[in-house]
């Protein structure tokens, strides 16, 4: 329960420095199986504070075209939960950057929930975010995750009724992920103008740090979100940068986001 | 801060639930409460009933198929003629109900997924009737094999969006419809076409389809003076099957038999028999039997019939299987194609390829029931949509 210690420490340290957490998302096994460990290392080097490592799923219904494509490619590459945990173990050797596994429920159920929780902890994961397990959907399963050393990262959407917001974080720890707009993942030209106000409302009832994701794709957007949130999640835009420029291109892009955020 | 955990939404033993992105939870709560409110409102059910009567032509006949029975070795085989509904299948029972519900919720944009195109046509029809905007997601492969229904939807004013991702069939059309809904949920109602998806869809679609079983029960008692010994229906997602099973669930002496698609044979791996060989898992918002590999990735389904070509199944079927109240079996593409011809030649009725699976199984096993009383088969749809596709499979030039 208290082993989301790396995540909390990361937010505390950043908070004391007046900085915002940069949280990149990458699909494990993309663009190829050998890329994951070096990619994680490069993302750390250019200023990632926490990394979301995506477990690919055949039916990613919360994801837009970019992450769908990366998921299908990763699966074709033979990526499995076991291969991802092996990569994570390799990365962990000498790195203490917090890693949150990002997944749909079914690959975890197929692996076996208890075995997964235990193996993920052993491999060095710090948290788990499940896109299709909203709070209250399966209390027994949620309790097992909450009781494990992994932080259960909860999500809040703009459509979450306000009275539900305090309940959504039940059993959650580490941070809360605020989906900055309705829709699937993917780079957007414009973000919601009401973001600051929405975050204010969430903070009035939620004590965990709040990271914002969905649609953030430029240093300017990241800087503006960083002004109001505790963390900025970058997913699809990073995958697109990887497509264009490989690991170097991805790292350069994330670095530009880091600079944008720190400049404010 | 409240630490209260809301009650689980599982409706059918361990099956069902609401395994969806957080974005949809508000809309599902709204839908549940609008549906519960409508279900207890006399004026809502009378509006549904009168449209089903005057617009769709209900009640549909229960027809004594004597020549089919003779071929199957059973003197009293009855067909529940859902193919006689307006638009040619049972799907309209559900779309009229859900479209009225959407209007009640003030949502005038409708989305739907479709496999064979029957649900898409039924949704487009209801939207034309009530002047609602209609967008139908359909896999590219299905757009090709169900060209007639694509054109029908367009004639009815719907926009058909071909889905090219994944397996390019019903599963991916459903993914895309859910992605649309996650984006547009504040203005849009998603009319799911089967007893699948997150709560409240499986129970709501069942309730709208239960008219099939209510009529069947009354008709068979009136015609034969007794309950059937067995009721047969094809199962993809399973809405016509749940619809006809529902009124017989507490009549333990009535065997309920669902027929899945065995494709080119269960042993080939090219099939859609989720209940026969799948394992429980989560797809499209509910926990149910699912075709999946050992890593929990969803396996592509296969069936000659686009409407059965789906790797999941409604959660209530999973429950009925586990408790032993319903039995599930599967027949191959070839058996279904043979039954398609047999019913046309024996009875002058061209069945949908989906329904032909149920007919095929009855032809195989009806003789075993010959001394036990009448049997009923749900003829869920008519086969006009499949004529060109079947002609092509059999080596003819495409007709359209």
Token readout for B92 is 């309209």
What is the pLDDT, as a whole number, of residue A181? 80
Contacts of A167 in chain B (CB under 8 A): 2, 4-6
Residue with tokens 């779309």: B95
Nearest residue in A to B25, CA atom: A160
For residues B275 and B321, the answer to whether their CB atoms sit within 8 Å is yes
pLDDT band of B4, cuts 50, 70, 90: very low
For residues B15 and B316, the answer to whether their CB atoms sit within 8 Å is yes
Query: SS in 3 state form for chain A?
Result: CCCCHHHHHHHHHHHHHCCCEEEEEEECCCCCHHHHHHHHHHHHHCCCCCEEEECCCCCCCCCCHHHHHHHHHHHHCCCCHHHHHHHHHHHHCCCCCCEEEEECHHHHHHHCHHHHHHHHHHHCCCEEEECCCCCCCCHHHHHHHHHCCCEEEEEECCCCCHHHHHHHCCCCCCCEEEECCCCCCCCCCCCCCCHHHHHHHHHHHCCCCEEEECCCCCHHHHHHHHCCCCEEEECHHHHHHHHHHHHHHHHHHHHHHHHHHHHC
Region A69-83: what's the mean pLDDT? 97
Q: Report the distance separating Cα B196 and Cα A24, nearest Å.
A: 34
Q: What is the pLDDT of residues B19-39, one digit of tens each?
A: 999 999 999 999 999 999 999
Q: In A, residues 118-137, which contact B (CB 8 Å cutoff)?
A: 131-137
What is the pLDDT, as a whole number, of residue B3? 39
Which residues are A52's β-sheet partners? A25, A100
What is the pLDDT, as a whole number, of residue B9? 56
Q: How far is B287 from chain A (nearest CA, A)?
A: 9
Give me the DSSP letters along B133-188.
EEEEEEEHHHHHHTHHHHHHHHHTTPEEEEE-STTSSHHHHHHHHHHHHHHHTTTE
Residue of B5, B22, B179 lying closest to A157 (CB–CB): B22
Q: Is B24 on the interface with A (CB under 8 A)?
A: yes
Contacts of B294 in chain A (CB under 8 A): 110
Q: Report the distance separating Cα B288 and Cα B281, nearest Å.
A: 6
What is the pLDDT, as a whole number, of residue B400? 56
Nearest one of B375, B370, B397 to B74, comparing CA atoms? B370
Q: Report the distance separating Cα B213 and Cα A1, nearest Å.
A: 51
Catalytic residue among A4, A52, A87, A230: A52
Q: What is the pLDDT of residues A24-53, one digit of tens each?
A: 999 999 999 999 999 999 999 999 999 999
* Whether pLDDT at B8 is above 60: no
Contacts of A107 in chain B (CB under 8 A): 295-297
Region B169-193: what's the mean pLDDT? 94
What is the pLDDT, as a whole number, of residue B134? 98
Region B174-190: what's the mean pLDDT? 93
Q: Is B185 on the interface with A (CB under 8 A)?
A: yes
Across the interface, whether the CB atoms of A184 and B182 are under 8 A apart is answered yes
* Whether pLDDT at A1 is above 60: no
Preceding omega of B200 cis (within 30 degrees of 0): yes
Residue of B3, B9, B182 lying closest to A62 (CB–CB): B182
pLDDT band of A5, cuts 50, 70, 90: confident
What is the pLDDT, as a whole number, of residue B180? 94
Region B107-129: what's the mean pLDDT? 96
Residue with tokens 């945990």: A85
For residues B256 and B325, the answer to whether their CB atoms sit within 8 Å is yes
Q: What is the largest CA-CA distance in chain B?
A: 69
DSSP tag of B266: G
Q: Give me the interface pTM, i.e. the ipTM.
A: 0.94
List of E strands, B249-319: 255-263, 279-283, 285-290
Q: What is the pLDDT of residues B350-382, one digit of tens each?
A: 999 999 999 999 999 999 999 999 999 999 999
Residue of B4, B6, B183 lying closest to A183 (CB–CB): B183
Q: Is B183 on the interface with A (CB under 8 A)?
A: yes
Q: How far is A259 from chain B (nearest CA, A)?
A: 31
Which residues are B111's β-sheet partners? B135, B190
Which residues are A24's β-sheet partners? A234
Q: Report the distance separating Cα B308 and Cα B262, nearest Å.
A: 10
Contacts of A198 in chain B (CB under 8 A): none
CA dist list (Å): A159 to A62, B10, B181: 15, 22, 12
* Whether pLDDT at B216 is above 80: yes
Active site residue A41: no
For residues A40 and A21, the answer to whether their CB atoms sit within 8 Å is no
Q: Report the distance separating Cα A103 and Cα A56, nearest Å.
A: 7
Contacts of A78 in chain B (CB under 8 A): none
What is the pLDDT, as a whole number, of residue B44? 97
Q: Report the distance separating Cα A97 and Cα B170, nearest Å.
A: 41
What is the pLDDT, as a whole number, of residue B391? 93
Q: What is the pLDDT of residues B261-275, one digit of tens each?
A: 999 999 999 999 999
Instruction: Give the mean pLDDT of chain B.
Output: 95
Q: In B, residues 225-264, which contact A (CB 8 Å cutoff)?
A: none
Region B47-53: what's the mean pLDDT? 98
Q: What is the pLDDT of residues A172-208, one digit of tens each?
A: 999 999 998 878 777 776 667 789 999 999 999 999 9
| B123-151 as b/e: b if 16+ CB within 10 A | bbbbbebbebebbbbbbebbbebbbbbbe
Q: Report the distance separating Cα A149 and Cα A151, nearest Å.
A: 7
Q: Report the distance separating Cα A252 and Cα A43, nearest Å.
A: 9
| Of residues A254 and B395, more confidently modeled | A254
CB pairs under 8 A between A and B: 149
Q: Which of A75, A110, A144, A166 to mutate to test the interface with B (most CBs of B within 10 A)?
A: A110
* Whether pLDDT at B398 is above 80: no
* Whether pLDDT at A7 is above 60: yes
Across the interface, whether the CB atoms of B25 and A134 are under 8 A apart is answered yes
Q: What is the pLDDT of residues B303-348, one digit of tens each?
A: 999 899 999 999 999 999 999 999 999 999 999 999 999 999 999 9
- Interacting residues of B325 by C-beta distance below 8 A, sequence separation 6+: B249, B256
Q: For the purposes of burial, counting CB atoms within 10 Å of the CB of A118, is it exposed (0-12), middle (13-18) or buried (19 or more)? A: middle
Q: Is B178 on the interface with A (CB under 8 A)?
A: yes
Q: How far is CA B101 from the centre of its chain?
A: 19
Element (DSSP H or E) covering residue B296:
none
Across the interface, whether the CB atoms of A80 and B29 are under 8 A apart is answered no
What is the pLDDT, as a whole number, of residue B1? 35
Q: Report the distance separating Cα B339 and Cα B379, nearest Å.
A: 12
What is the pLDDT, as a whole number, of residue A2? 47
Q: What angle do CA A249, A215, A141 make, to 5 degrees?
A: 105
Q: What is the pLDDT of residues A101-137, one digit of tens each?
A: 999 999 999 999 999 999 999 999 999 999 999 999 9
Contacts of A142 in chain B (CB under 8 A): 5
Across the interface, whether the CB atoms of B2 and A136 are under 8 A apart is answered no
* Whether pLDDT at B50 is above 60: yes
Q: Report the distance separating Cα A218 and Cα B101, nearest Å.
A: 41
pLDDT band of B399, cuts 50, 70, 90: low
Query: How big is chain A by its Cα radius of gyration, in Å?
Result: 17
| Of residues B147 and A103, more confidently modeled | A103
Q: In A, residues 165-204, which contact B (CB 8 Å cutoff)?
A: 166-171, 179, 182-184
What is the pLDDT, as a whole number, of residue B2? 37
pLDDT band of B145, cuts 50, 70, 90: confident
Q: Is A113 on the interface with B (CB under 8 A)?
A: no
Q: Report the distance separating Cα B182 and Cα A117, nearest Å.
A: 29
* Whether pLDDT at B397 is above 90: no
Instruction: Give the mean pLDDT of chain A.
Output: 93
Region A80-103: what's the mean pLDDT? 96
């Amino acid at each position: 329960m208290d082993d989301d210690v790396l995540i909390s420490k990361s937010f505390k340290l950043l908070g004391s420095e007046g900085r915002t957490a940069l949280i990149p998302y990458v699909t494990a096994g993309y663009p190829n199986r050998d890329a994951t460990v070096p990619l994680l290392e490069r993302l750390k080097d250019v200023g990632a504070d926490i990394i979301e490592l995506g477990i690919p799923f055949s039916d990613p219904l919360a994801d837009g075209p970019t992450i769908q494509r990366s998921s299908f490619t990763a699966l074709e590459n033979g990526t499995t939960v076991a291969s991802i945990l092996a990569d994570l173990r390799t990365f962990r050797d000498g790195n203490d950057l917090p890693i949150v596994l990002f997944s749909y429920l079914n690959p975890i159920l197929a692996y076996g929930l208890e075995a997964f929780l235990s193996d993920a902890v052993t491999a060095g994961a710090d948290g788990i975010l499940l896109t299709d397990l909203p709070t209250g959907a399966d209390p027994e399963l949620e309790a097992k995750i909450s009781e494990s050393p992994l932080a259960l990262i909860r999500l809040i959407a703009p459509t979450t009724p306000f009275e539900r917001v305090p309940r959504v974080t039940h059993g959650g720890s580490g941070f809360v992920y605020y989906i900055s707009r309705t829709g699937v993942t993917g780079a957007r030209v414009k973000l919601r103008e009401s973001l600051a106000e929405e975050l204010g409302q969430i903070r009035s009832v939620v004590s965990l740090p709040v990271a914002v994701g969905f649609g953030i794709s430029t240093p300017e957007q990241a800087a503006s979100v960083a002004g109001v949130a505790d963390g900025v999640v970058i997913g699809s835009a990073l995958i697109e940068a990887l497509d264009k420029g490989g690991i170097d291109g991805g790292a350069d892009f994330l670095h530009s986001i880091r600079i944008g955020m720190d400049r404010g | 801060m409240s630490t209260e955990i809301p009650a689980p939404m599982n409706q059918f033993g361990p099956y069902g639930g609401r395994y969806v992105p957080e974005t949809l939870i508000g809309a599902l709560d709204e839908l549940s409460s609008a549906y519960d409110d409508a279900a207890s409102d006399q004026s809502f059910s009378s509006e549904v009933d009168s449209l089903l009567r005057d617009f769709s032509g209900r009640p549909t006949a229960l027809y004594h198929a004597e020549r089919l029975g003779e071929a199957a070795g059973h003197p009293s085989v009855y067909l529940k003629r859902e193919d006689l509904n307006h638009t040619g299948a049972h799907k309209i029972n559900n779309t009229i109900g859900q479209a009225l519900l959407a209007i009640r919720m003030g949502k005038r944009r409708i989305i739907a997924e479709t496999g064979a195109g029957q649900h898409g046509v039924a949704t487009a029809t209801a939207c034309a009737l009530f002047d609602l905007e209609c967008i139908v997601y359909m896999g590219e492969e299905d757009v090709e094999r169900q060209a007639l229904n694509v054109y029908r939807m367009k004639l009815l004013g719907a926009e058909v969006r071909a889905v090219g991702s994944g397996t390019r069939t019903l599963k991916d059309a459903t993914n895309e419809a859910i992605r649309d809904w996650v984006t547009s949920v504040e203005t849009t109602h998603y009319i799911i076409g089967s007893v699948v998806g997150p709560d409240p869809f499986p129970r709501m679609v069942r309730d709208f389809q239960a008219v099939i079983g209510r009529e069947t029960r009354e008709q068979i008692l009136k015609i034969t003076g007794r309950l059937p010994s067995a009721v047969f229906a094809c199962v993809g997602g399973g809405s016509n099957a749940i619809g006809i099973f529902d009124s017989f669930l507490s009549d333990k002496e009535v065997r309920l038999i669902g027929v899945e698609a065995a494709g080119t044979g269960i042993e080939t791996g090219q099939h859609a028999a989720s209940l026969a060989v799948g394992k429980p898992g989560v797809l499209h918002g509910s926990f149910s039997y699912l075709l999946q590999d050992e890593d929990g990735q969803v396996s592509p389904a296969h069936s000659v019939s686009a409407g059965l070509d789906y790797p999941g199944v409604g959660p209530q079927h999973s429950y009925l299987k586990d408790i032993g109240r319903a039995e599930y079996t599967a027949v191959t593409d070839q058996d279904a194609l043979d039954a398609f011809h047999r019913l046309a030649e024996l009875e002058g009725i061209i069945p949908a390829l989906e329904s032909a699976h149920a007919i095929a199984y009855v032809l195989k096993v009806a003789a075993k029931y010959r001394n036990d009383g009448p049997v009923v088969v749900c003829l869920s749809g008519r086969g006009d949509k499949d004529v060109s596709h079947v002609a092509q499979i059999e080596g003819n030039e495409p007709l359209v």
